[in-house]
Structure 1
Amino acid sequence: MPLHYLALGDSYTIGEAVPAAERWPARLVRQLRARGLAVEEPRIVATTGWTTDELSAGMDAASLTPPYDLVSLLIGVNNQYRGRPAGEYRGQFARLLQRAVTLAGGRASRVVVVSIPDWGVTRFAGEQGRDPAPIAHALDVYNAIARDEAGRAGARWVDITPVSRRHPELLAEDGLHPSAEQYALWTEAILPAAAAALK
């Protein structure tokens, strides 16, 4: 039987400004297939600009057919961008994560939580005159929350934030979103956790 993969998120999951085949969920499926795992094309519920509550509403509106064998969750950058408090993020993220576990048939080990990349190092942030230090600090707080909630739930955690900080030059033409090359690096980081989840 083919394996079913659900990817939940925002612009980073939908792959804003790159071709569909270069999104990291699509790349991840190709890599899993190369390891002999029969994974179907990913079902993606993600839209550029979504916050945690907007993703939840998007999930409500989507025609989801659980259980999924693998679920990924990467959400929160737009909460931070809009200046929303970390406490609000924790509550909404925890509820999203529980929904992800339920969609994975109650198997928390089949859920992979991916950290939020640092947009403060991008050309877009520089052109906007944004100070990267407070952005980095706020995202570190958000990511600590996501990592903590993933641990509590028994989900897997993958930190791609250092990759985004090491490679601020790997951007799409908009100067904000990752390029295909950066998504390839993310996929390398996420692949071990995803493969372990499916074993």
Structure 2
Amino acid sequence: MRPLRYVALGDSLTEGVGDPVGNGWRGWAALLAGGLSEPSAEFTNLAVSGAQTRDVLETQLPAALELRPDVASVLVGVNDTLRSTFDIEKIAQRLDRVYESFTRQGTAVLTACLPDPGTMLGLPGVLGNPLARRQRAVNTVVHTLSERYGAVHLHAVDDPWIMDRAMWSSDRLHPGERGHRQIALRFHAMLRLRGIGTEAAPAAEPEFPPPTKSASLLWLATAGTAWVIRRCNDLLPQLVRLAAVEMRHRARGTSDRLDVRAALSVSRALAALSVAGSMGLAEQRLVTEPVGLAEQRLVTEPMGPAEQRLVTEPMGLPEHLPLPLPEGLPVSDPRLVPEHRCVPDGLTAPVPGQRSAPEPQPEPEAA
């Protein structure tokens, strides 16, 4: 009997930043791997610090599929929210392809909703709100696709331990050893319900003493400063622009429009996945290939109310799923995916198979 194979994909969180062991990082994924099976699981960590959804799709996924894992964790998206290239529709498309590829291969997929960096860093509202809005959009996509593919989903964003300062490293962006162990423990408990995670769960208490205050300050002055400089080259101009928009809407009392606009973008992203999933390759080519002037006129001319409803209403996700998961891994388990959805107050994410009322269209933003 071959040992279970577990492959981890993602960014610095999965790489293990915040949980140093020797000259490298360990992290929650390595801790989880130790309690998955006997003999010990074959564990491969492909996660790289700074990775975005495109890196996972284009670089990490092909390497992971070659290993034909039984379990694959995909925790990514926070770095996308820190870039000027943030595009929730592209993020949704990439994650959909990653989850589908693993599910077709019979791999159990682990996903999670994560807290936004602005909250963890304690940024003021005009700086933190745009990042929080982006992370809510990513979480809504992850949550919805996790239900679609029967993933083992950890709703970490609402776990009480998230706001416990003792769980986090000195940079406030990555868990410390205690926080990494909390993630591993929660995934282990959910995998046990699916017949995986048959060995002892990781210990909750740290193996090593936390870093001293002087060591934390030294890290922030060296590696932490370097991280800030790398991110600021791209993030700072974008964050200033987002803050200016936030302040303008706050002065006008129209901040809620930003939430509505973000929710509409998520609805369009998920609706586009529904359309693509229901079409064959020929139909998808008709949509994605360049069109001539005549066809462009048909697309760009004003539409009537009926046609607008067809385009703007959130659509249910297709009922079909790819190949079944391995034995012992049910496609859906209500205990593993919470009912709560990560969406702004007063808004709901599209539910598979359900059509909702037309969403209000956002008003054009004043110059």
Find the aligned partners of 1:14 and 1:87 in 2 and give their Cα distance.
26
Pairing of 1:11-160 with structure 2 (within 5 A)? 11-19=12-20, 22-33=26-37, 37-59=38-60, 62=63, 65-83=66-84, 84-102=86-104, 105-107=105-107, 110-123=108-121, 126=123, 131-160=127-156
Q: CA deviation at 1:73?
A: 0.9
Find the aligned partners of 2:126 and 2:13 in 1 and give their Cα distance.
20
Find the aligned partners of 1:117 and 1:94 in 2 and give their Cα distance.
21
1:196 matched to 2:193 = yes
Letter in structure 1 aligned against 2:27: R
Pairing of 1:154-193 with structure 2 (within 5 A)? 154-163=150-159, 165-193=162-190
What SS does the aligned partner of 1:150 have?
helix
Find the aligned partners of 1:136 and 1:162 in 2 and give their Cα distance.
14
What SS does the aligned partner of 1:46 have?
coil
Q: Which runs of 5 or more structure 1 residues have no equivalent in the other structure?
A: none
Find the aligned partners of 1:137 and 1:39 in 2 and give their Cα distance.
40
CA separation of 1:39/1:195 partners in 2, compared to 1, >3 Å: closer, same or farther?
farther
Does structure 2 conserve the Cα–Cα contact (< 8 Å) formed by 1:118 and 1:165?
A: no
CA separation of 1:160/1:51 partners in 2, compared to 1, >3 Å: closer, same or farther?
same
Letter in structure 1 aligned against 2:35: Q
Which structure has the larger Rg?
A: 2
Find the aligned partners of 1:174 and 1:153 in 2 and give their Cα distance.
34
CA separation of 1:62/1:32 partners in 2, compared to 1, >3 Å: closer, same or farther?
closer
Q: CA deviation at 1:47?
A: 0.6
TM-score (norm 2): 0.47
Q: CA RMSD in A?
A: 2.6
CA separation of 1:140/1:60 partners in 2, compared to 1, >3 Å: closer, same or farther?
closer
Find the aligned partners of 2:26 and 2:94 in 1 and give their Cα distance.
29
What SS does the aligned partner of 2:129 have?
helix
Q: CA deviation at 1:149?
A: 0.8
Does structure 2 conserve the Cα–Cα contact (< 8 Å) formed by 1:112 and 1:194?
A: no
Q: CA deviation at 1:61?
A: 6.5
Find the aligned partners of 1:60 and 1:178 in 2 and give their Cα distance.
25
Does structure 1 conserve the Cα–Cα contact (< 8 Å) formed by 2:168 and 2:176?
A: yes
Identity of aligned residues (%): 24
Deviation by residue 1:29-64 (Cα, 9 ceiling, x = unmatched): 23335xxx4342421111111111111222266375
Q: CA deviation at 1:89?
A: 1.1
Q: CA deviation at 1:99?
A: 2.3
- Highest relative contact order (Cα 8 Å, sep 6+), 1 or 2? 1
TM-score (norm 1): 0.81
What SS does the aligned partner of 1:139 have?
helix
Q: CA deviation at 1:140?
A: 1.7
